Structure 1
């Protein structure tokens, strides 16, 4: 048995003990080397018909089996995947609340409440990799760039994340411009590469897979850095970051061109994009044309800065 296969077996054994259901199912499928089509066929032979889409959703953590027919399929999967009895069914837990995917975790804010003029959820669903339980966001550092004509240039983002389960390989980066027609590109800077990219023309929004340079085991951390560039002449007077789940630390820097230094700059917080500003206070602009805010133990919501030239 080669090293990779041995590691996969250890990961599977750990997931059987700790869950979640999606991790056990995914690792078991990988370890047994079965295609979803083969699994679907074996279930059909046993009298249970489950779509490939549903199997994929279970595997990715986008939904979990709840109906009696689905629970029967899970019992059969334990045999098909040579797993101990109850190793999958014991991971199911209570029924999930109905609503839009991704399912809401305790204390989590609906992602679409953090963005204006677009549904980010629709783009994330196409990427099929938005699993909140897999990663803890330890810290995030944004550098937002403002050009000489007071226009939006782009955003450099650095994130520190910790894996909560084994075999975590990617996250999602999201950016939204107030210039709804501006072309937006994303590039990897450090410790990652860009996977699939989705956007919605006319909304100013883009979402992309951030693929780590190595697969993480439970407890391991990764530092990734990537950049969004905006081809825009659109006047910009604010930037904010929305958080659907808590984060330990958030640092935001606004870097102004020397020809476009505002008169005043303020920080603010919101419960959602449509909520009123809270905690507003002026932020000092330094001699190198930059301003920053630091927020710790950030709850779900919005944190940002706005500025005035006159």
Structure 2
């Protein structure tokens, strides 16, 4: 039986971005469908703009109130449900947040980013991420395969991919491999954090609003046992599917879904999951909030 996607209730104190994400998830509409419906009403807004609105990176201005009002009708929320959450315009420029602020190894990743290309960070938003993590009989998560669709919010020609291995791992044993829609670029590693940052070079430069789909794999040859996997998102709004495949010779005794604001923060969601007969388990998030979505497991 397919597990239904759960959409959390929005409180009156929720931000515009959170309210928009949950309204979109509840209606089950993709951003390109929303754009088409708005265009039919004579309101033209790009997928990239909608993506930045629901991620919270940008907030609609006064000129966009007609569009937001139409969104309320389209998403079937009460009048003022979205427009009433648009804060007053700021008179002072806002300080840019630290890259990777939702993970506890953000400083290490930021140093690696400076070794690659700092200005490449934040130019893309995830639309959909399909991810499979495979564990071996030695209980190590040796492979992570990803199909990732992205939309450009600034002109961009590459993705920056982050990965941290198990505590005490040798970062030199972490590898990034492009499979389709991109080429592997430079790799930077942090031995102290056991982390890697790598470039996936796109086939061409994407203009704002253009999209791409890339397939890639991260290999972890350290052989260290694993007890969890978390995918982090700085901006939220992505549709996310995570599947973990265990080796039948090494099945966990308990498995849980978790969601957090920060990798080392408290669990906002912690619920039991059931393995399939062939040792698989999955979670689906229709519109992920900033933070992490993941799966944890316990060995006997």
TM-score bracket for the superposition, by shorter chain length: 0.5 to 0.7
- TM (norm. structure 2) is 0.64
Moved over 6 A (4+): none
Q: Which of the residues 137, 160, 182 maps onto 2:126?
A: 137
User: SS at the partner of 2:223?
Assistant: coil
Aligned to 1:173: 161
Q: Which of the residues 100, 104, 108 maps onto 1:119?
A: 108
Give the structure with higher Rg (CA): 1
In 2, Cα distance between the equivalents of 1:96 and 1:200?
A: 33
User: SS at the partner of 1:262?
Assistant: coil
In 2, Cα distance between the equivalents of 1:209 and 1:95?
A: 34
- Root-mean-square deviation (CA), in Å? 2.3
Q: Does 1:157 align with 2:146?
A: yes
For residues 107-165 of structure 1, give each alpha carbon's deviation from its aligned partner in whole angstroms, at most 9, with x where no partner exists.
xx751441349621111122115545532210112211111011121211221001234
In 2, Cα distance between the equivalents of 1:140 and 1:129?
A: 23
Count of residue pairs brought into register by the alignment: 210
Closer/same/farther in 2, CA of residues 274 and 128 from structure 1, 3 Å limit: same
Q: Which one scores higher on RCO, CA 8 angstroms, separation ≥ 6?
A: 2
In 2, Cα distance between the equivalents of 1:111 and 1:190?
A: 26
In 2, Cα distance between the equivalents of 1:196 and 1:157?
A: 19
Aligned to 1:5: none
User: SS at the partner of 2:238?
Assistant: strand
Closer/same/farther in 2, CA of residues 130 and 177 from structure 1, 3 Å limit: farther
Q: Is the 8 A contact 2:102 2:261 kept in 1?
A: no
Aligned to 2:230: 240
Closer/same/farther in 2, CA of residues 134 and 205 from structure 1, 3 Å limit: same
In 2, Cα distance between the equivalents of 1:110 and 1:128?
A: 12
